[in-house]
Amino acid sequence: MTVLTDPQQGRTTSAARSAVKGGRWIDDWEPDDADFWARTGRRVAARNLVFSILTEHLGFCVWLLWSIAVLNLQSVGMQLSVGQILWLTTLPNLVGAAMRIPYTFAPARFGGRNWTIVSALLLLIPCGLFVYAVENPDIPYWALLLIAATTGLGGGNFASSMANITHYYPTDKQGLPLGLNAAGGNIGVSVTQLAMPPLIVAFGLAAVGWVWMPFILLAAAGAYFFMNNLRGAASAYTAKEMIAGCKDRQTIIMSVLYIGTFGSFIGYSFTFGVLITSQFPGIKASDFIWLGAFAGSLARPLGGWLADRFGGARVTMLDFLLMGLGIVAVAVAVQAGSWPLFLAAFLFVFVATGIGNGSTYKMIPAIFRTRAMQGVDAGDAAAVKSALAAARRAAAASIGISSAVGALGGVLIQQAFRISLESVGGIGPALAGLAVFYGLCVALTWATYLRKVHIGGVRMSLAQAGV
């Protein structure tokens, strides 16, 4: 057993104790203790955050691999319809959404360091299968679909990474590290879409699979040597709490809103290149496809900051209004055949999705904290501590569920575009449906969080209570 001591006082304290067993297991971790955080916690947490971001980033890079590959399948002799191409980008999203539920539990079950190593190495599977597929262009379409589906493993990394890093930081200091963790992952979408086209030109389509392998091995090695497992994180939430969370009204509402924000971001990221090609055949989609995800990723921390300053519910409601207006502008651009307006409007929508990702993610802990503290005597320290602990567990379960449902929303958006293109040869009906959906999200946000109700005997909105 290794015990960390106070270097100035030369004594061991409960807050400073960090017993490590079995290869980097930490038994005692108390980030909310200011003494422990200043002396030991900040440094260890930052080290774990760095490699968590790296692995999550690579997960997104691999997850979006087919979004750029489908634009170049003809170069290896594969002739597919628009519908078949959209299915190749839809299945990774579907699998990625499903993987977020088990990945949420994995760090608590196996240890954050251990699962980061495993989740990184699993990314070698879709990369290797991609190389095999493009080097065998006569492969059956069903096999191609299965190979594309394996990239969904990268989509699960977000859930496990966020669930793990949450426990490393003090309650009042989680905003920035979680924002950096999320943005570092999201920006992997644009890295794939920006870096791959010149690589394909220079080395062929198979390079899209080969290029990530050394970085994946580097990330796994970094996690092995520099990350830790937190023994106490295993009690953060249970499967029973996750099941209960699925039935919780607030979790259901936030899942719908997260479909509108993250579902839109990932759905548009997967389909942006196909939409450009179908609506503006003269434009080289690979030159512009990366811009949307890049803009949305950079806007995510801004959404969190705005939510801190003005309230998550207010920012989210306004954001959905802007998303609806942006989609209307996209529809106008398509009708007018204006490429500059189409690009500008879609980038505006991407920015709005990023802001909404940040604001909705900030709402969830506030909602459960506000609910848990109703009727609790603020002067009863034990009751307050118990209520906040329960709120944190409920919020963790809700975040896992919402992140999975949100990613699933991306599948719905992709399918909306596929059906629209196959049915009428254009994306007008899909855009109209999305505009209506964003309008419904505006109404849902107002009715749930901004409309005044009785809270603790006082007539006020949840937004006024801190949501």
CA 365, CA 363: separation in Å to the nearest integer? 6
Give the helix/strand (H/E) hosting 156. helix 153-166
User: Among the three residues 187, 205, 236, which one is the final residue of a domain in this structure?
Assistant: 236
What tens digit of pLDDT does each residue of 24-45 get?
889 888 887 889 999 988 999 9
Indicate if 259 and 124 belong to the same structural domain.
no
pLDDT at 1: 34
Shared domain check, 256 and 205: no
**DSSP string of 287-318?**
GTHHHHHHHHHHHHHHHHHHHHHH-HHHHHHH
Residue 32 lies in a domain: no
CA distances from 146 to 47, 128, 150 (A): 36, 13, 7
Helical ranges in 264-288 per DSSP H? 264-279
φ and ψ at 204, to 5 degrees?
A: 95, 165
Residue 386 exposure: Cα atoms within 13 Å on the Cβ side: 9
In a domain, 392, yes or no: yes
**Contact partners, residue 166, CB within 8 Å, separation at least 6:** 174, 178, 236, 396
Structure tokens at 216: 């994946």
Phi, psi of 122 (to 5 degrees): -60, -25
Distance of CA 154 to the CA centre of its chain: 11
Q: For 285-314, write each residue's pLDDT tens digit.
A: 888 989 999 999 889 888 888 888 888 899
The β-bridge partners of 230 are: 26
- Over residues 45-100, the pLDDT tens digits come to 999 999 999 999 999 999 989 988 888 888 888 888 888 888 898 899 899 989 98
Q: Any idea which residue has 């190979």 for tokens?
A: 147
Check residues 113 and 175 and name the one with the higher pLDDT: 113
- CATH code, 331: 1.20.1250.20
Residue 24 resides in a domain: no
In the predicted structure, residue 191 carries a pLDDT above the cut 50:
yes
340 plus 376 within the same structural domain: yes
Specify the pTM: 0.80
For residue 453, the model assigns a pLDDT of 67
Cβ within 8 Å of residue 304, ≥6 positions away: 175, 178, 179, 358, 359, 361, 362
pLDDT band at residue 465, thresholds of 50, 70 and 90? Answer: low
Same domain for 260 and 225: no
14 domain residue, yes or no: no
pLDDT digits (tens, 9 = 90+) for 326-380: 999 999 999 999 999 999 999 999 999 999 998 887 788 788 888 887 777 777 7
Mean pLDDT of 99-119: 90
What confidence score (pLDDT) does residue 450 get?
87
Q: Computed from CA positions of residues 404, 102, 216, 135, in that sequence, does the dihedral angle turn out positive or negative?
A: negative
Q: How many domains does the chain have?
A: 2
pLDDT value for 238: 63
